[in-house]
Amino acid sequence: MVKLGHYYDSDKSCFRIYAPYRKTVEVELNNGKTKFNLNLDKDGYWTGSCNRLPEGSLYWIILDGERSYPDPASKYQPFGVHSGSMIVNPKKSDLTNWHGVKMEDAVIYEMHLGTFTKEGTIKAAEAKLQYLADLGINVIELMPIGEFPGNYDWGYDGVFIYALESSYGTYEDLRKFLNKAHELGIAVINDVVYNHFGPEGNYTGFYAQYTKDADTPWGSAINYDSKDCSGVREFFLGNVEWWLRDIGFDGFRLDAWSMILDCSESRIQREICDLAHKIGKEENREILMIAEHLRNDKNVTSAEDNGDACDSQWVDDFGLSIRAFLTPDSNDRLFKSFAPNPFKDIITSLKQTYVLDGSRFNYAIEDYSGTKPEGVKPHQCVIYIQDHDMIGNRVKGDRFISSAGRDKTLLAAVTLFSSKNIPLIFMGEEYGETNPFLFFESFSDPWLIEAVREGRKKEWQFSKIEPRDSHDVETFNDSRLDWDKLSNDENRQILSVYQNLIKLKKSKVIGYTGEDSIYEVENDENTIVINNGRSRVLLNFSSAVKNFDGVDGLKVILSTNPANTNNQLQPYSAVILSNY
């Protein structure tokens, strides 16, 4: 794969810019004191070189002698999305003794760097890696880290997909973070946005037709299949190379995978996954490609025919079913598809993962969605009680525990880890964090700021609660984790339950144990029993004390309520029984 933007070649600084219809392209250095021309080749790229520029140098790209723009393939924008691009030469993380984590072994922790710690930096997050290793986490999924407008954002408004968000730190900070994670046996995957660009600071349209006349919910779709798409496809495939081969990430969470609109014979989704797996094979390590598709399409994880060949995909059905049943205020459209009989849907999700399998209307997308799950393996589905969307897209940004309370939360957690699929937890969930995770942004365009405010008010007009101002810095600050909660007995007890659940899941005492294993789900009157041959998990989803039979000879190895016994469960509680 050829390099894009600025790159070093021996004693030269080289530039390669895709701008097929521009008449001239120049590189501007030293605040305009130095300029030199690039030359157009037959593929629409402007290329050229000069004596090696020192790291930290700023440059601009001048198009047709009229105006200077940042480089779309900039690797660092320390002065923001509207400023010049900085030359950096990051060192790759050390992969000498690292071979990654297999998808079927993954326990995933979703993290937003800006709110994970008080400092909101990579360096501060590195100091928490031992805590995550002790918890049992072996895959960290970072919400998008590409440069976005301002200093706080979820990351999905990024416009420089090659550039590390400068408010999070430096590439050296990132290298140390990856190295430390790998030393602790933790893979790190990067949440990437290949379906749209953010609404502020996107200068790609001045260079070429990076988007097309088709919409996603967040802006114009990326041009993967229309006129001049070759350079656009190479831009995104180059980004796969950048983060995996040049930086050393262990894979991607692929945002809104279904919103990549490509009708090419060779679809970009498959090319992205094939390239990622090729890198993994060449470097003798596991690369994890996890799609946020949310259409329950088995072709996403299929390598046959025209499948995408992703390793796994997010499936909302478990979390939405759980929340629809256990919380009375789950009345927005995300939960409407599960409202008629959510307990039955919990059972279905435990048995076959897909609840929305094409036979039921999906109110979230206002269409029927899903395929029958035949042939989908348990590790090809990632499930959760909550993720950033399930929390942050609620008007109050309230976490599950804030809506359901401790007992129901731990009941849901035991159900999650006893399922046959891959578990994901959202940062802070493991100790019962109650601070909200709100939607926040730091745009600088006054019109855009007001449009976001009005859009959110309109979205929640049916509610009696007005959403928090997403632009207010206090909305961001209030979304930070409160690590002081770990000084409380109750929070430490919740943490202990999660730690034990992860240990039992990884040792296969609970959950799926292999293709030839037992995995049975029984239910009766709002109770569930999961048997995998090594354990029996008893789950009481009712407000009454429940009695269970057939558990003689097994001992309680985990209980969410001290009053539980081998055959009697308190309301909204769970026990795990085993001789292992």
Output the six-digit token pair for 339.
């409202």
- CA 378 to chain CA centroid, nearest Å: 19
CB 138 within 8 A of CB 103: no
142: left (phi over 0), alpha (psi -120 to 50) or beta: beta
292 has catalytic annotation: yes
**Tokens representing 218?**
């967040």
| 8 Å CB contact between 391 and 402 | no
Alpha carbon distance 537, 564 (integer Å): 13
Question: Closest Cα partner for 160 from 230, 68, 76?
Answer: 76
- Phi-psi label, residue 132: left if phi above 0, alpha if psi -120 to 50, beta otherwise: alpha
Q: Which of 292, 357, 398, 407 is catalytic?
A: 292
Nearest to 577 by CA among 531, 519, 517, 518: 531
Running DSSP on this structure, what letter comes out for residue 309?
A: -
> Could you tell me whether strands 45-51 and 39-40 are parallel, antiparallel, or unpaired per DSSP bridges?
antiparallel
Answer yes or no: 255 catalytic.
Answer: yes
Which of these is catalytic: 110, 255, 317, 407? 255
d(CA 227, CA 333): 37
Separation of alpha carbons 499 and 505, rounded Å: 10
Instruction: Answer for the pair 325, 282: CB distance below 8 angstroms, yes or no.
Output: no
Instruction: Please report, as a single letter, which amino acid is at residue 498.
Output: Y
DSSP 285: S
DSSP 476-541: HHTTS--GGGGGSHHHHHHHHHHHHHHHHHHTTSSS---TTS--EEEESSSEEEEE-SSEEEEEE-
C-alpha to C-alpha distances, 154 to 145, 381, 460, nearest whole angstrom: 9, 24, 19
Q: Is the dihedral of CA 47, 50, 56, 57 positive or negative?
A: negative
Contacts of 510 (CB under 8 A, 6+ apart): 417, 418, 501, 504, 530, 532, 534, 535, 537, 576
d(CA 347, CA 523) in angstroms, rounded, equals 8
Distances (CA, A) of 142 to 78, 236, 287, 361, 381: 20, 19, 15, 32, 18
Q: Which helix (H) or strand (E) holds 283?
A: none
Q: Which residue type, as a one-letter code, is found at position 479?
A: S
Strand, helix or coil for residue 192: strand
Written as six digits, the tokens of 61 are 């790209």
Which residue shows structure tokens 């600084």? Answer: 13
- Is 231 within 8 Å of 18 (Cβ atoms)? yes
Catalytic residues: 255, 292
